[in-house]
């Protein structure tokens, strides 16, 4: 059930209690968010705070500048001796100088490696790089997870829903999938498969080299696919359907094989997740291992509007390369009540003399990761999209994974709700996704964490 955070006047965040209430408002380009919850998340829900940071959909938000500017690119290599560069999404307020990554779920550091984990009653782990890339090279050395319904991903994702992917299905450890999307248009003919040796047992190095004129996907130093911008011309709209807006590197492990997901997504992932698998029995969770991640920034496009150097911001809701400017505007919120138009909005102060009890006003502040995953491949053909057919999840994209699944979704410890959950939502209670002490009031909800602002009602 959805959890809420209550701000009882001046009570500190760590001491707040949890209330129960309904889901947040849906949003789309034709149904924009209201001014009271102005930012639309990647998952199509309205809120403030973290909704206005990474993944804020300017097309569906109340206004383009409801979304906070995006921290500009930063070249760096991460080796994961610890998680000092990672902030949980329950604490990150946009200061990329203090945290290079923001996490949902339960990342771990072990032996100099980053582990993304997915325990029963959770929907996995997502790390998003807080510094956006406007063309550049992203490289990750990793071992994928394994098992039907389990998906490991290394992708670039923009707030305009431009996307460049490497994805790995746990039921097929000899295939890497590459894909791209333009502004979230669900064209599943863009995917291609590449054969390679066992992705769970062996490290491989995956590279996305993204230039204004060409994208190159490489594995272990060998180019396996290229996409020329010129080949993406849409004759109907007279524009290139080519990823061209600032994007974040995202690392994720998520359960595409949940019974609550659409048939196309489940089939694409090889079937329902087995919550009694060898890895669950031995470790308590599925896992993917990242040895290193490196990011190399390229120069912005020659036509870029340059008014600073610290952040990227959209000037209109077209979501095109020409709608982005480089600015020195702040990327930091004072509290989770803020948004791009009011970054300094803070929690209410104590009020003296009120005799009536406080009245809650609910504001969603931390979007969740649904069981359908962080990218467009989280919704396969047959899941009620714009008419693409094919419940087997193949449709020119996914090889022969569709028939490899089984029933393994009957385990009572499997999550029966879609949505990001850091703590148990049922089952045996052995979830490694439980919140840390002191953070329990920020446990994940079905789609969001909500704040109830307590406003005194005076006579």
Is the pLDDT confidence value at 368 over 50? yes
Looking at residue 364, what is its pLDDT?
87
Query: Quick one: CA dihedral 31, 383, 370, 453, positive or negative?
Result: positive
CATH number of 1-459: 2.60.120.200
Token duo for residue 250 = 């995202």
Single out the catalytic residue among 106, 163, 207, 321.
163
Q: CA 314, CA 317: separation in Å to the nearest integer?
A: 7
Residue 67 pLDDT more than 80? yes
116 in Cβ contact with 109 (< 8 Å): no
Q: How far apart are CA 447 and CA 361, in angstroms?
A: 18
Is 362 annotated in the active site? no
Token pair 């079905």 is found at: 446
If DSSP codes are grouped into helix, strand and coil, which group holds residue 65?
Answer: helix
Among 106, 167, 207, 362, the active-site one is: 167
Let me know if 263 is a catalytic residue: no
Structure tokens given for 268? 């694409």
- pLDDT, one tens digit per residue, over 78-116 is 999 999 999 999 999 999 999 999 999 999 999 999 999
Q: 140 CB contacts (<8 Å, ≥6 apart)?
A: 154, 166, 205, 206, 207, 251, 290, 292, 293, 294
pLDDT tens-digit series, residues 221-247? 999 999 999 999 999 999 999 999 999
**Chain mean pLDDT for the chain:** 80
Q: What is the pLDDT of residues 289-302, one digit of tens each?
A: 999 999 999 999 99
- pLDDT band at residue 347 under the 50/70/90 scheme: confident
The domain ranges of the chain are 1-459
305-306 and 311-314 as β-strands: parallel, antiparallel, unpaired?
unpaired
Give the residue with greater pLDDT, 190 vs 446.
190
This prediction's pTM: 0.80
Residue pair 64/416 in contact by the 8 Å Cβ criterion: no
Closest CA to 154 of 245, 306, 288: 288
For residue 395, pLDDT beyond 70: no
- The two structure tokens encoding residue 37: 């919850």
Please report which confidence band the pLDDT of residue 436 belongs to, taking 50, 70 and 90 as the band edges.
very low
């Amino acid at each position: 059930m959805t959890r809420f955070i209550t701000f009882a006047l001046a009570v500190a965040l760590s001491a707040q209690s949890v209330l129960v209430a309904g889901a947040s408002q849906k949003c789309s380009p034709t149904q924009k968010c209201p001014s009271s919850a102005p930012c639309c998340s990647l998952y199509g829900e309205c809120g403030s705070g973290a909704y206005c940071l990474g993944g804020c959909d300017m097309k569906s938000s109340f206004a383009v500048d409801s979304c906070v500017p995006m921290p500009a690119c930063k070249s760096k290599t991460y080796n994961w001796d610890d998680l000092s560069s990672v902030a949980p999404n329950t604490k990150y307020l946009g200061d990329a100088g203090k945290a290079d990554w923001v996490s949902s779920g339960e990342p771990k550091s072990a032996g100099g490696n980053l582990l993304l984990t997915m325990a029963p009653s959770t929907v996995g782990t997502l790390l998003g790089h807080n510094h956006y890339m406007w063309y550049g090279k992203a490289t990750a050395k990793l071992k994928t997870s394994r098992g039907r319904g389990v998906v490991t991903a290394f992708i670039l994702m923009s707030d305009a829903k431009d996307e460049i992917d490497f994805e790995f299905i746990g039921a097929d450890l000899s295939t890497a999938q590459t894909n791209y999307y333009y502004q979230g248009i669900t064209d599943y003919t863009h995917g291609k498969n590449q054969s390679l040796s066992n992705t769970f047992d062996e490290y491989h190095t995956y590279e996305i080299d993204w230039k204004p004129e060409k994208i190159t996907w490489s594995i272990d130093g060998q180019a396996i696919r290229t996409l020329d911008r010129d080949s993406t011309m849409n004759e109907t709209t007279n524009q290139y359907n080519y990823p061209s807006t600032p994007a974040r590197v995202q690392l994720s492990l998520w359960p595409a094989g949940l019974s609550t997901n659409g048939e196309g997504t489940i089939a694409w992932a090889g079937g329902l997740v087995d919550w009694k698998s060898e890895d669950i029995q031995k470790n308590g969770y599925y896992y993917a291992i990242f040895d290193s991640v490196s990011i190399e920034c390229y120069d912005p496009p020659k036509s870029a509007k340059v008014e600073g150097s610290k952040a990227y911001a959209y000037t209109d809701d077209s979501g095109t390369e020409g709608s982005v400017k480089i600015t020195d505007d702040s990327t930091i919120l004072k509290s989770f009540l803020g948004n791009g138009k009011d970054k300094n909005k803070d929690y209410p102060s104590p009020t003296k003399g009120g005799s009536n009890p406080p009245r809650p006003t609910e504001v969603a502040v931390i979007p969740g990761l649904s069981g359908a995953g962080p990218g467009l491949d989280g919704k396969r053909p047959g899941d009620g999209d714009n008419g693409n057919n094919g419940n087997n999840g193949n449709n020119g994209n996914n090889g022969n994974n569709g028939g490899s699944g089984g029933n393994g979704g009957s385990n009572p410890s499997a999550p029966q709700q879609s949505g990001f959950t850091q703590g148990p939502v049922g089952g045996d209670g052995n979830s490694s996704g439980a919140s840390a002490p002191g953070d329990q009031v920020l446990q994940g909800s079905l789609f969001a964490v909500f704040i109830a602002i307590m406003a005194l009602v005076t006579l």
